[in-house]
Amino acid sequence: MPARVYKILLILGIAAMVVAIPLFWLTYNAPRNLEVNFLDVGQGDAVLIKTPGGQNVLIDGGPDKTVIKRLGENLPWWDKQIDLMILTHPHDDHVTGLIEVLKRYRVKRILYTGATHNAPNYLTWLKTVRDKEVPLTIVDKARTVALSQSVKLEILYPEKSLLNKTLADLNDSSIVLQLIYGQNKFLLTGDAGLAVEKALLASGADLAADVLKVGHHGSEYSTSQEFLDKVKPRLAVIMVGKDNDFGHPNLRIIKRLERAGARIFRTDGVGTVKLKSDGMKVWLD
Looking at beta carbons only, is 44 or 233 nearer to Zn ion? 44
Q: How far is the CB of 94 from Zn ion (least distance, A)?
A: 6
Q: CB 170 → Zn ion: shortest distance, Å?
A: 10
- Cβ of 269: how many Cβ atoms within 10 Å? 12
Question: Which of 96/184 has CB closer to Zn ion?
Answer: 96
Closest CA to 149 of 173, 180, 172: 180
Interaction between residue 64 and Zn ion (CB under 5 A) = no
H-type helices in 30-119, by residue range? 66-74, 92-104
Contact 39, 274 (CB under 8 A): no
Q: Which is nearer to Zn ion, 35 or 191 (CB)?
A: 191
- Among 93, 100, 197, 210, indicate the residue that binds Zn ion (CB under 5 A): 93
Question: How far apart are the C-alpha atoms of 89 and 127, rounded to whole Å?
Answer: 16
Evaluate the CA torsion angle 76, 82, 86, 89 in order and state its sign.
positive
Contacts with Zn ion by CB under 5 A: the residue count is: 2
133 secondary structure, DSSP code: T
**What's the closest the beta carbon of residue 217 comes to Zn ion, in angstroms?**
6
x/- letters, 182..221, toward Zn ion (CB under 5 A): ---------x------------------------------
Least separation in angstroms between residue 87's CB and Zn ion is 12
| Least distance CB 272 / Zn ion (angstroms) | 17
HSE at residue 65, side-chain half, CA atoms within 13 A, is 3
Q: Which residues bind Zn ion (CB under 5 A)?
A: 93, 191
